């Protein structure tokens, strides 16, 4: 008698998904606890965090500046196209500054780093997991958190906001430069527009976003790396998962922070 085809059980499937999600939440919470425990060993994580900070900062500076420069230029050119004859030119200054500082600077930097740094962290830690290097650390009585997690997260929390500052400055500068090339706009017009609706909180908001994005860019890939299994295929899966999850979380945080901090 042929085996009867297994029937799809909706309740069982939902139960499995819920349990899987709860397991992730539990493991992620444990990783966060380990992070705070690991902070107690600065002698171990500070030198490593310096190396990581250098890698994130110097290694990512060129691509971050390149993308933000193009974002600033395109924003200015599109603003000029849309407002031509409808609004005064100084509005271009307002739009470029606000778009870059409030949104494009931090979000584009976050997404670039999710790919560049997130993929690297997940692959590095994942490879260490499948080659038993993390087990080796534990067997030596050493904390994987203070050796691997804390340096990466701290470096990210420090360097991502720094990169966002650079991205904001270059984005606005490039928008200004581009606007002047193709529009009858003076420096005074652009400066006036940039300052007209600018509030000091805008810069803080950009940095607050950068700080939260840094958490997503570092914690999620490290989590994926620590929970890697099944060899090279598992490392590949963790790396892809880390980039996708960190990117999605950045977009979710972007919406959430706008709702929390910008709603009047």
Partner 1 sequence: MIELRDVAKRFGEQVVLDGVDFTVADGETVALLGPSGTGKSVLLKHIIGLIKPDRGSVIVDGLDVPRLRRNELRQLRYRIGYVFQNGALFDSMNVFENVRLGISDTDKFDDLAYSRDAVTRCIRLVNLAPETIEKYPAELSGGMRKRVGIARAIVGEPDYLLYDEPTSGLDPVNADIIDDLVKQLDKELGVTSVMVTHDVRGAFRVADRLALLSEGKIVMQGTQQEFLASDSPKVREFLERDFQNATLPEA
C-beta closer to partner 1: residue 187 or 233: 233
Supply the minimum distance, in Å, between the C-beta of residue 52 and partner 1. 11
C-beta closer to partner 1: residue 48 or 180: 48
Which residues form the interface with partner 1 (CB under 8 A)? 128, 131-133, 135-142
Supply the minimum distance, in Å, between the C-beta of residue 21 and partner 1. 18
C-beta closer to partner 1: residue 193 or 225: 225
Residue 65 DSSP label: H
Supply the minimum distance, in Å, between the C-beta of residue 228 and partner 1. 15
C-beta closer to partner 1: residue 122 or 216: 122
Q: Are 193 and 258 spatial neighbours (Cβ–Cβ below 8 Å)?
A: no
All residues at 6 or more sequence positions from 226 whose CB lies less than 8 Å from its CB, including other chains: 31, 125, 129, 134, 144, 149
Burial of 184-214, coded b for 16+ CB within 10 Å and e otherwise, reads: ebeeebbebbbeeeeeeeeeebbbbbbbbbb
User: Would you call 264 helix, strand, or coil by DSSP?
Assistant: coil
Supply the minimum distance, in Å, between the C-beta of residue 183 and partner 1. 51
């Amino acid at each position: 008698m042929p085996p009867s085809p297994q029937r799809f059980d909706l309740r069982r499937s939902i139960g499995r998904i819920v349990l899987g999600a709860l397991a992730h939440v539990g493991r992620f919470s444990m990783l966060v606890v380990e992070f705070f425990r690991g902070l107690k060993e600065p002698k171990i994580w500070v030198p490593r965090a310096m190396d990581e900070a250098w890698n994130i900062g110097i290694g990512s500076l060129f691509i971050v500046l390149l993308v933000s420069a193009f974002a600033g230029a395109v924003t200015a050119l599109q603003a000029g196209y849309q407002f031509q004859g409808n609004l005064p030119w100084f509005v271009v200054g307002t739009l470029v500054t606000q778009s870059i500082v409030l949104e494009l600077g931090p979000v584009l930097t976050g997404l670039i780093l999710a790919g560049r740094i997130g993929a690297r962290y997940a692959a590095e830690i994942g490879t260490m997991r499948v080659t038993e290097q993390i087990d080796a650390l534990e067997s030596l009585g050493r904390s994987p958190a203070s050796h691997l997690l804390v340096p990466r997260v701290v470096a990210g929390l420090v360097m991502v906001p720094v990169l966002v500052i650079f991205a904001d400055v270059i984005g606005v500068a490039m928008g200004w430069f581009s606007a002047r090339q193709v529009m009858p706009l003076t420096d005074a017009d652009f400066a006036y527009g940039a300052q007209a609706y600018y509030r000091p909180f805008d810069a803080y908001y950009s940095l607050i976003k950068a700080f939260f994005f840094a958490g997503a860019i570092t914690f999620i890939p490290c989590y994926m790396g620590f929970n890697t299994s099944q060899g090279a295929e598992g490392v590949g899966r963790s790396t892809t998962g880390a980039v996708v999850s960190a990117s999605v979380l950045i977009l979710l945080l972007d919406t959430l922070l706008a709702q929390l901090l910008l709603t009047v």
